[in-house]
Structure 1
Amino acid sequence: MSEEIVPVTKFLEDSFVYTCTFEHQRGHEQFIPQHVLAFQFSGETHIQNENGKLILKKNQILLAQKNQLAKTIKIPDSNEVYKIISVIITDTVLQQYAMNNSILKDKNYTGEKTFLLKPDILLKSYFQSLLPYVEQSEKISKQLATIKTYEAIGLLLNLKPTLKSFLFDFSEPYKIDLEKFMLQNYHYNVPLEQFAKLTGRSLAAFKRDFTQTFKTSPRKWLQEKRLTKAYHLIQEKKHKPTEIYLEVGFENLSHFYSAFKKMYGVTPASIQSSS
């Protein structure tokens, strides 16, 4: 392995994210606010979202829709570093692209929110062209970032013209069943504002509807639900506390331990040792 390669996660002009690592890592970002187009140069990315698990493998492309929750795990190959480049495609850039190219959206998108694409030679060459920017530069101009993002949009539409409704759907999340959504997504560690947005509500409306539905506050319910799930995983499934605290929605181990002991009167480790 080359000694010149240094593990890094780099952001360029809020448009490109480059990650290179030798270690198995859990991703931190769980809310996807903008469309993401990602190319896996080496290693694998395991993605968990509302539809289950998806694995992005070497030389594959992933397209993820904005306004969704996802958890990722970065896994290097046995003899290669983990390397991926993501292009963040914002509504601002898409709206300008649509205006410049006289694109009119014919219908709202209702298909899969995250899926894999088999890249053609043009998209592969595009991502190769990004490597010098993300590996050798600390920053690029906003103008250049916009040009390269426009190129990505054009290549996507060239590869799959039906992606027009996916890319150019600027509608906001609509009001959905709050109880069903929260029972499916409580384990995502995101602010209440993002839960509110994804259920099609203002924060005030979310808190009001939540209290009416669950007869308690969102923060209390979330903590109790996450701790109940953690207890089950430790007691019944024999998982270690260090393996599951992130999975159930806690940000750090110390907070998980203190909250668990406050609710159950014992530490997670004591539950593990007695099970």
Structure 2
Amino acid sequence: MESKAGKRTVFLTAHTVILVNQGVKLLHFSGHTLEVGPSQAVLLKKGIYVMAEYLEEGVGFEALLLFLPVRLLKALPLPTGCKRPPADAPPYLLLPADELVQGFKAQLRRYFDHPPLALDHLMPLKQQELLLLLGAGHHRQQVADFVAEALSTAPGDLDFLVRAHLLQPVTVADLAQLSNRSLASFKRDFQRQYQCPPRQWLNQQRLAHARLLLQNGHRRVAEVAEECGFENTSYFIRIFKRQYGHTPQDLRAKTTID
């Protein structure tokens, strides 16, 4: 359960359902931001996301995150004939939280205050119940398609994946997991497609973007480093100098003079 507001990058290693009790959950994607309030629920594929919360005056924030293990998804009685969405489809499914889902949220919320003795056995049943409630009526096929994609073990589109996560603090191992590949297979496929090892290519692309930001803005070097996926500013400065022959500060000073 989440109860504190703040913007952060989150790596979801499992597909997830997000239910908001109070406030608004913000999910930032390339080109748009998804707002999720108490009247909605969102199914979110495993991945790396930038999340934040919006709070109205006098209203707190609270959300429930339920992670969906593969064995649970396989057990769902869903329609056949499901289709995989295109590679560039949004990694989420936004659904209305009707009266039954609202009742589910209220009951699940009470478990955090008064945990039942058999909670470990009860939670898989509650996760399955929620998915069946969300997939009732008109949304049954949409939920079935989402689950079919979640259960797929086919390797994901490499170019779309790396570009979607390019400026996030993601490791090569993270990308391999998200693409449904072993680390060795990911490195081999990446080398074949880009004629370059993945870490080298990622750093080159991130540094090029950082250089553009430094030449056309006034943000601090540490802020630029973080925005381009570098969690360690010293490391960023070191490889920036190795790539371009001068430090970010030197580039900023030269750009200011020119």
| TM-score relative to the length of structure 2 | 0.79
Letter in 1 for 2:155: Y
> Which of 141, 150, 156 is the matching residue for 2:128?
150
For each residue in 1:171-215, what CA deviation from the matched residue of structure 2 results, as whole angstroms up to 9, or x when unmatched? 223353x34543343223223233234445443232223223333
Counterpart position of 2:42: 63
Counterpart position of 1:15: none
Letter in 1 for 2:100: L
For each residue in 1:130-160, what CA deviation from the matched residue of structure 2 results, as whole angstroms up to 9, or x when unmatched? 2222356599732011121122122112252
Counterpart position of 2:173: 193
> Which of 97, 110, 113 is the matching residue for 2:91?
113
Report the Cα offset of residue 25 of structure 1: 2.7
CA contact (8 A) 1:64 1:115 kept: yes
Does 2:72 align with 1:72?
no
2: CA distance between counterparts of 1:46 and 1:129? 24
2: CA distance between counterparts of 1:270 and 1:134? 53
Letter in 2 for 1:247: E
1: CA distance between counterparts of 2:188 and 2:207? 23
CA contact (8 A) 1:60 1:116 kept: no
> Which of 106, 115, 119 is the matching residue for 1:141?
119
2: CA distance between counterparts of 1:74 and 1:270? 37
Counterpart position of 1:19: 2
For each residue in 1:58-100, what CA deviation from the matched residue of structure 2 results, as whole angstroms up to 9, or x when unmatched? 31434234344432233444433332111112221122333xx
Distance 1:253 1:138, change over 3 A: farther
Ranges in structure 1 where 5+ consecutive residues have no aligned partner: 1-17
Report the Cα offset of residue 251 of structure 1: 2.6
1: CA distance between counterparts of 2:34 and 2:156? 30
What SS is found at the alignment partner of 2:214? helix
What SS is found at the alignment partner of 2:65? strand
Counterpart position of 1:234: 214
For each residue in 1:14-48, what CA deviation from the matched residue of structure 2 results, as whole angstroms up to 9, or x when unmatched? xxxx1111x5331332xx34321112223333323
Ranges in structure 2 where 5+ consecutive residues have no aligned partner: none
Does 2:144 align with 1:171?
no
Counterpart position of 2:65: 86
1: CA distance between counterparts of 2:36 and 2:168? 24
CA contact (8 A) 2:7 2:50 kept: no
1: CA distance between counterparts of 2:225 and 2:24? 23
> Which of 211, 215, 227 is the matching residue for 1:247?
227
CA contact (8 A) 2:20 2:63 kept: yes
Report the Cα offset of residue 262 of structure 1: 4.3
CA contact (8 A) 2:82 2:144 kept: no
Q: Aligned pair count? A: 249
